[in-house]
């Protein structure tokens, strides 16, 4: 499967409406709502010990969660803490240092790191002194490889002078810029005033410092948005020519995310308008030469994400689509989720609980899950569908030592209706998501989710479109 063929997406509005609904984004499988309390520390410790015995030299991926923002964007669904007090970050870094040292003590020597990502919240809430301190803490306990992919989420409104230069000196070479929408009325409605000139200035400076694969986040479905505002936003963004564009559907879940209660429901675009905005965005981006990577992501053909898609090496993890081979993830900070081997482990979501655990010199874990063999098989199937739009059945059978049709008899039966509607094509050697079905890949993946099929959940998933 090559990027050239995958980019031939067919936007079928009737089909999308027919399958309208909610579902997991599958940044993990099993999904985080399946994590359970009890025994997670012991499971995580066991996973680390198995790693030490088998692949101790393999590089890690490292994620750091910085939860602070000094203003609240009303659409936000991140785990964040709104404050203007930068001193709170000093205390947080002190506790983060405790966690770093606790994790480091589980390794015989400093683990090598091939991927580093700072997320939030807003990592650029940190002052330059705090950012420098954080990087020194990490470099003292982990070995950042010379060719490591180091990325950070940037809020252009909260970027200190000299911060990008500092990040560049510490090896950062990727970034994601939060934009969402450039229309002033929309920005006011979601409490995120961000002039286009400000974003353009940050983007220009980043490029001058050698940052590559710069991503811009956009959202459709926000209050007061329309096809006209989307067209204007896209026109400006395409002048900037970012390497990647993430186009997210706004999920209005006010019961779950308190800031969303400040959004006027009457100002939200209708389902038909939202679908029209998506079609406009897709048509515009494809016409501008971007490749549709999958779900929400587009990239220029020469970008590493598009190259990974073309070469069959595309990955998916908690940060979305990725280019590097799947590896163990150590995640640090409040609410952060690690995956080592077949074990997921999530830190406490509340800052008080996180601090209390570290005061006891305990790993600040609250819940997690150790995958069964069935979980791992299904995780691989979902990964293949979302990253390559196909499952090569003979290869899958050899990799997992199963008879595919026997193992997935229920799933194959459920896929028949999707095949009849043109979402997938099926034969003895492969399951392939069609160009008509690519925007509904999550619907296909959900057929392989045994947890979703067998167990009820109280989770509120985002809309598929």
pLDDT tens digit sequence for 71-89: 999 998 888 899 999 999 9
Check whether 92 is labelled as a binding-site residue: no
Q: Is residue 371 predicted with pLDDT exceeding 50?
A: yes
Digit-coded pLDDT (tens) for 128-171 = 999 999 999 999 999 999 999 999 999 999 999 999 999 999 99
State the CATH class of domain 1-30+372-456: mainly alpha
Q: What is the largest CA-CA distance in the chain?
A: 61
Chosen CATH of 34-330 out of 3.40.50.300, 3.80.30.20, 3.40.50.970, 3.50.30.60: 3.80.30.20
Whether the bond into 30 is cis, omega within 30 of 0: yes
Q: Is 410 annotated as a binding residue?
A: no
| 180 marked as binding residue | yes
Say if residues 249 and 221 touch (Cβ distance below 8 Å). yes
Per DSSP, which regions of 231-342 are E strands? 244-249, 291-294, 297-299, 315-317, 320-322, 329-332, 337-340
State what percent of residues in the chain have pLDDT above 90.
80
Give me the percent of the chain exceeding a pLDDT of 70.
Answer: 96
Residue 2 has pLDDT above 50, yes or no: no
Phi/psi region, residue 412 (left: phi>0; alpha: psi -120 to 50; beta: rest), is alpha
Question: Domain limits of the chain?
Answer: 1-30+372-456, 34-330
DSSP for residue 259 = G
Concatenate the DSSP letters of all residues of 109-156 into one string.
Answer: SPPEEEEEEEEES-GGGS-HHHHHHHHHHHHHHSEEEEEEEEEEEE-G
Please tell me the distance from the alpha carbon of residue 462 to that of residue 127, in angstroms, as a whole number: 33
* 69 marked ligand binding residue: yes
Helix (H) or strand (E) holding 68: strand 68-69
Q: Is the pLDDT of residue 351 over 80?
A: yes
pLDDT band for position 5 (50/70/90)?
Answer: low
Residue 316 pLDDT grade (very low, low, confident, very high; cuts 50, 70, 90): confident
120 carries a ligand binding annotation = yes
Same fold, 1-30+372-456 and 34-330: no
The answer on whether 38 is annotated among ligand-binding residues is: no
- Look up residue 307 and give its two tokens: 């190259």
Q: What is the pTM of this model?
A: 0.93
Q: How confident is the model at residue 1 (pLDDT cuts 50, 70, 90)?
A: very low
CA–CA distance, 203 with 211 (Å, rounded to integer): 9
pLDDT in tens, 411-461: 999 999 999 999 999 999 999 999 999 999 999 999 999 998 887 654 556
155 is in an annotated binding site: no
315 known member of a binding site: no
Question: Is 150 annotated as belonging to a binding site?
Answer: no
Highest-confidence range of 30-34, 163-167, 325-329, by mean pLDDT?
163-167
The annotation status of 251 as a binding-site residue, yes or no, is yes
User: Is 121 within any annotated ligand binding site?
Assistant: yes
């Amino acid at each position: 499967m090559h990027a050239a063929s995958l980019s031939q997406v067919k936007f079928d509005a009737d089909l999308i409406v027919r399958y309208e609904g909610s579902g997991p984004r599958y940044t993990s499988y099993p999904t985080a709502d399946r994590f359970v309390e009890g025994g997670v520390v012991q499971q995580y410790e066991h996973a680390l010990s198995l790693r030490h015995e088998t692949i101790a030299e393999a590089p890690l991926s490292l994620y750091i969660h910085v939860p602070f923002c000094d203003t609240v964007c009303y659409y936000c669904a991140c785990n964040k803490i709104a404050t203007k007090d930068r001193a709170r970050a000093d205390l947080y870094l002190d506790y983060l240092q405790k966690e770093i040292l606790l994790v480091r003590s589980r390794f015989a020597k400093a683990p090598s790191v091939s991927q580093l990502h700072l997320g939030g919240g807003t990592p650029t809430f940190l002052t330059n002194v705090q950012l420098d301190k954080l990087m020194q803490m990490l470099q003292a306990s982990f070995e950042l490889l010379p060719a490591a992919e180091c990325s950070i989420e940037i809020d252009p409104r909260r970027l200190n002078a000299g911060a990008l230069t500092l990040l560049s000196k510490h090896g950062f070479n990727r970034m994601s810029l939060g934009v969402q929408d450039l229309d002033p009325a929309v920005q006011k409605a979601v409490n995120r005033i961000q002039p286009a000139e400000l974003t353009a200035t940050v983007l220009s400076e980043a490029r001058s410092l050698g940052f590559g694969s710069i991503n811009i986040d956009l959202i459709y479905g926000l209050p007061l948005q329309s096809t006209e505002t989307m067209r204007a936003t896209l026109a400006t963004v395409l002048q900037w020519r970012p390497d990647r564009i993430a186009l997210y559907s706004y999920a209005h879940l006010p019961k779950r995310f308190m800031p969303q209660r400040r959004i006027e429901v009457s100002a939200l675009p209708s389902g038909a308008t939202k679908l029209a905005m998506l079609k406009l965005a897709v048509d515009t981006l494809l016409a501008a030469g971007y490749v549709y990577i999958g779900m929400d992501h587009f990239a220029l053909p020469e970008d590493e994400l598009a190259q990974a898609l073309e070469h069959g090496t595309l990955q998916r993890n908690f940060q979305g689509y990725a280019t590097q081979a799947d590896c163990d993830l150590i995640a640090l900070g409040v609410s952060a989720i690690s995956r080592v081997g077949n074990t997921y482990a999530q830190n406490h979501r509340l800052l008080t609980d996180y601090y209390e655990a570290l005061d006891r010199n305990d790993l600040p874990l609250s819940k997690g899950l150790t995958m069964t063999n069935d979980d791992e098989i299904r995780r691989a199937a979902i990964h293949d569908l979302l990253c390559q739009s196909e499952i090569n059945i003979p290869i899958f059978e050899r990799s997992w030592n199963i008879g595919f049709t026997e193992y997935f008899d229920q799933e194959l039966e459920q896929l028949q209706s999707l095949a009849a509607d043109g979402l997938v094509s099926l034969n003895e050697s492969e399951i392939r998501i069609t160009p008509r079905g690519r925007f509904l890949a999550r619907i296909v993946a959900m057929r392989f989710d045994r947890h979703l099929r067998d167990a009820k959940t109280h989770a509120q998933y985002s809309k598929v479109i």
